[in-house]
Amino acid sequence: MTPARAALGLAVLLGLLAFAALKVDTDVRGLLGEDDQVTSALDTPEGRALTLAIIDPDPDKRSLLAAEIAETLATRPLVRRVTTAPEAPTTEFLDWIWQHRFVLAPPPQAAFTPQSLVSEMRRARAALLSASDAALADRYLRDPTGSFRRAITALTAASAKALPVHRGIPQARDNSAALIFIELADEPFDVAVEAAFDADLISQVRAGGADALLIGPRAISAEISNDIATRSTLAAAVASALLLLWLVCVLRPASAMLVCVLPPAMGFAAAALVVQVSFGSVHVIALGFGGALLGLALDYPLHLLAHRAGPGQNHRARRFVAVGAATTAIAFLALLGSGIPAIGQVGLFVASGLTVAAACAIWLADRGQPASLRSFAPVMLPFVVPLKLPALAAFALVCAATLWQLPERTSQRLVEVPPRITDAIKRLSTMIDLPSGRYRIDVTGKTLEEVLVRQARLAQILQIVSSAESFPRSEMLGNYLPKRLAKPKFPSPEAFSETLSGLLAEAGLDPDFLGDITASYKAAHDIPPSGPQALGPFEHLAAIPGLIRVDGDILRAPVRLWSVAAPDRVAQIVGGLRDEGIVFVDQERSIASGLDALTARVSLWLGLGVLAGVLFLLLAIRRPMVVAEIALGCLAAGLLTALLVGIPTGGVGVFHIMALTLVIGIGIDYGIFLTLSEDDKQYQDATRSVLLCAATTLIAFLTMAFSGVSVLEEIGATVSIGVIAMVVVHGARQKITWPAEER
């Protein structure tokens, strides 16, 4: 068995093992931590909400189609609830309102005056004869404070403000579509399941002869994920085809390609196994980004092939590959200290993968069949820059200072929303007047009362500000309830009973009914604080979906905002309340802050790793000036790359930093081969292998840079620019160390 076949067999075995054992983890918390605002967005009722607009100019046709689709939707297991017509309050909901009426609509002091009590009892008597109030009149009679009636009236008014209805189906405000509101079942988000569900729904609408618009966080996420997957697959296929073509062109014989492909393949399989065994699963970031970084391993066999001219050369090349791989592996291992599971896995993945790949490449180079590279590279002599070290140091300083001056990257996103989705959201916004998806004010509290008191305080401030200046329109739970006092005062049940005792006859009621009224008053008066467990049916009231929800052991009641032109002003107003339960949220900035923190942490640990790598290089090479030249070269080229990619995008993001790690790894290899050349022949071979490796890397990463996926574009552009910068920086020499006659 030839060594290549043995290595191939081993790679296949490792691959099969990895395939069998691998458990891929896609949880974003592995990258962004436990920030509920960012990572659980798809698991809240709002995250599981879908709006289906059935677009057709004929209101009858679209409404009938909507009713038909809603009926079939209600039977599907993926659907928790379908809302078409405004819903009548359930008995359970009315019972809840009755029990919590003093929390929702605490009666003002004036409600306890004899006149008010008599007036309320007369009103309750009249309600017995009203078609709209008949079901509630019994409770009106038992609550002469009017609290229950005011709560019901306010909530009914909220329903009246809802969308217009035709044939029992809500209609778009611009009369263009019938609307169905869907809440998906509380199941984990699965891209394939969601995409299939969405496609089926849209095809049902189209089969009915109408056009469909389907918007919701999960639908958008599924579409973006599929879009990224399609574009990434296409980019990977194009890059692989171009790489294969390139290797066929430069390798002699072409069958030597196996020698080039086996090390990274074996490194990938081994790395996946090591991470799986160490962490119990492999995060998709480690698999994807670690896999891309392992592309660096393709350079090893190319370097070794380029230096096969003589036995001495061969030995040097093997040593350089081993030193380069070990230096990069040490630098990446430091990422384990970052404390971010996905990033730590990337570190271990790259370190173990590069080590195995380098060992495989060296083993194959010693035992492989003769192979060589086509002599395409021009013979070059080193370009000497006498003051290279101080020049590099000064250049690095200038780059670092300029980078420091770049503005904070506030619009950093994990993914870019395609224009089609942005347009669809705008269109839906004209149909149902969508609030801002970016800005909101979060009001939290341990009890419903605490939340409502905070909202009342906020509403008061917003009203004052709105009357004085142009301020965003807002909507909150408190808007749908009667205006409340900050600290309502209730008389004791005994005092209440005493006040009421002489008034029943005056109101036309039987004085014997006093006991029933007093018992109802006492029950509402003594109700325990309404915490998350007590929220129950109120959370799902159709008229105010999403305006309050249970979040662990607190209640969260978001205040929706429209047309936020000056977010800083809103933040200032909210901050002025000095209440930790009222917070202005810029969703985009929250994500950007999370990514900034991630970037800072990754940069810190990677910096420490690079220092450890440089220390290792110093120990391995034992020539401080050469190590300084390599390290400074990598630093200057890395900073220049960061500057060039950071200026057009408004700052350096986490994906730039991750790509820069690959650039540094590549730079160390280039630096070792070019800077340690000791004669013209060695320099010529080093130039040839470096240019060949650079061309190979550029083929893969330039394809990525034009993939149309923002993350891949950032990585592709960074690596492409970085590789060119590394070639230029390491190609120039501080001085030529070999004797003149050698030249």
Q: Identify the H or E element spanning 419.
A: helix 419-432
Binding of other proteins by 137 (CB under 8 A): yes
- Using CB under 8 A, pick the residue from 86, 208, 537, 650 that binds other proteins: 86
CB of 513 to other proteins, least distance (A): 4
- Considering only residues 576-595, where is the footprint of other proteins by CB under 8 A? none
> Strand, coil or helix: what is 222?
helix
Nearer of residues 156 and 255 to other proteins, judged by Cβ: 156
Locate 493 and state its tokens. 């049940």
- Considering only residues 26-85, where is the footprint of other proteins by CB under 8 A? 85
CB of 286 to other proteins, least distance (A): 53
Nearer of residues 137 and 371 to other proteins, judged by Cβ: 137
Handedness of CA 653, 224, 27, 280 (dihedral sign): negative
Binding of other proteins by 178 (CB under 8 A): no
> Strand, coil or helix: what is 168?
coil
Q: Give the dihedral of Cα atoms 302, 305, 310, 311; nearest 10 deg.
A: 90
- Using CB under 8 A, pick the residue from 2, 113, 156, 460 that binds other proteins: 156
Nearer of residues 126 and 604 to other proteins, judged by Cβ: 126
Q: List all residues 6 or more positions away from 360 whose beta carbon is below 8 Å from its beta carbon.
A: 7, 262, 263, 266, 267
- The DSSP result for 13-47, as a single string, is HHHHHHHHH--EE--THHHHTT-HHHHTGGGSTTT
- Using CB under 8 A, pick the residue from 36, 43, 87, 211 that binds other proteins: 87
Binding mask 514-553 for other proteins (x = CB under 8 A): --x-------------------------------------
Q: How far apart are CA 540 and CA 549, in angstroms?
A: 9
Question: Among residues 647, 220, 654, 591, which one has the least CA distance to residue 413?
Answer: 591
CB of 480 to other proteins, least distance (A): 16
Handedness of CA 63, 68, 71, 72 (dihedral sign): negative
Q: List all residues 6 or more positions away from 158 whose beta carbon is below 8 Å from its beta carbon.
A: 479, 480, 543, 544
Q: For strand 24-25 and strand 282-283, is the pairing parallel, antiparallel, or unpaired?
A: parallel
CA distances from 397 to 392, 422, 639, 695, 725 (A): 8, 41, 9, 29, 16
Nearer of residues 200 and 516 to other proteins, judged by Cβ: 516
In one-letter notation, the amino acid at residue 682 is Q
In one-letter notation, the amino acid at residue 708 is G
CB of 169 to other proteins, least distance (A): 12
Q: How far apart are CA 458 and CA 71, in angstroms?
A: 41
Q: Stretches 138-146, 202-210, 286-294, 585-593: which one binds other proteins (CB under 8 A)? A: 138-146
- Using CB under 8 A, pick the residue from 1, 131, 468, 740 that binds other proteins: 131
Nearer of residues 75 and 132 to other proteins, judged by Cβ: 132
**Residues paired with residue 212 on neighbouring β-strands, in sequence order:** 54
Nearer of residues 136 and 274 to other proteins, judged by Cβ: 136
Nearer of residues 118 and 272 to other proteins, judged by Cβ: 118
Nearer of residues 169 and 399 to other proteins, judged by Cβ: 169
- The DSSP result for 471-512, as a single string, is --EEE-GGGGS----SS-----HHHHHHHHHTTTTTTT--GG
CB of 181 to other proteins, least distance (A): 15
CB of 493 to other proteins, least distance (A): 18
CA distances from 278 to 290, 345, 353, 533 (A): 15, 9, 14, 40
- Using CB under 8 A, pick the residue from 1, 160, 277, 740 that binds other proteins: 160
CB of 130 to other proteins, least distance (A): 6
Q: How far apart are CA 595 and CA 586, in angstroms?
A: 14
- Using CB under 8 A, pick the residue from 60, 68, 71, 138 that binds other proteins: 138
Q: Identify the H or E element spanning 437.
A: none
Nearer of residues 89 and 594 to other proteins, judged by Cβ: 89
Binding of other proteins by 260 (CB under 8 A): no
- Using CB under 8 A, pick the residue from 91, 203, 240, 492 that binds other proteins: 91
- Using CB under 8 A, pick the residue from 12, 24, 134, 566 that binds other proteins: 134
Locate 356 and state its tokens. 């195995």
Alpha helices in 177-308 (DSSP H): 191-207, 217-250, 257-279, 284-293, 299-306
List for the chain the helix, strand, coil content (%; round to 5). Answer: 65, 10, 25
- Using CB under 8 A, pick the residue from 6, 74, 128, 237 that binds other proteins: 128
Nearer of residues 147 and 677 to other proteins, judged by Cβ: 147
> Strand, coil or helix: what is 442?
strand
- Using CB under 8 A, pick the residue from 130, 175, 430, 470 that binds other proteins: 130
Q: Stretches 11-19, 122-130, 388-396, 728-736: which one binds other proteins (CB under 8 A)? A: 122-130
Q: How far apart are CA 271 and CA 266, in angstroms?
A: 8
Locate 22 and state its tokens. 């691998």
Binding of other proteins by 169 (CB under 8 A): no
Asked if residues 371 and 259 have their Cβ atoms less than 8 Å apart, the reply is yes
Nearer of residues 57 and 168 to other proteins, judged by Cβ: 168
Handedness of CA 199, 204, 207, 208 (dihedral sign): negative
Q: Stretches 153-161, 218-226, 437-445, 627-635: which one binds other proteins (CB under 8 A)? A: 153-161
Nearer of residues 152 and 247 to other proteins, judged by Cβ: 152
Question: Among residues 362, 234, 233, 299, which one has the least CA distance to residue 695?
Answer: 299
Q: Identify the H or E element spanning 492.
A: none
CB of 159 to other proteins, least distance (A): 8
- Using CB under 8 A, pick the residue from 129, 468, 486, 565 that binds other proteins: 129
Nearer of residues 168 and 529 to other proteins, judged by Cβ: 168
Q: Stretches 101-109, 121-129, 560-568, 661-669: which one binds other proteins (CB under 8 A)? A: 121-129
Site residue total, other proteins (CB under 8 A) = 32
- Using CB under 8 A, pick the residue from 6, 19, 74, 90 that binds other proteins: 90
Binding of other proteins by 168 (CB under 8 A): yes
- Using CB under 8 A, pick the residue from 18, 49, 141, 329 that binds other proteins: 141
Angle 514-525/493-501 helices, nearest 10 degrees? 150
CB of 90 to other proteins, least distance (A): 6
Angle 680-705/311-333 helices, nearest 10 degrees? 40
Q: How far apart are CA 265 and CA 267, in angstroms?
A: 5
Binding of other proteins by 94 (CB under 8 A): yes
Binding mask 485-514 for other proteins (x = CB under 8 A): -----------------------xxx--x-
Nearer of residues 138 and 200 to other proteins, judged by Cβ: 138
Q: How far apart are CA 94 and CA 89, in angstroms?
A: 7
Q: Stretches 86-94, 170-178, 330-338, 383-391: which one binds other proteins (CB under 8 A)? A: 86-94
Q: Which residues bind other proteins (CB under 8 A)?
A: 85-91, 94, 125-126, 128-132, 134-138, 141-142, 156, 159-160, 165, 168, 508-510, 513, 516
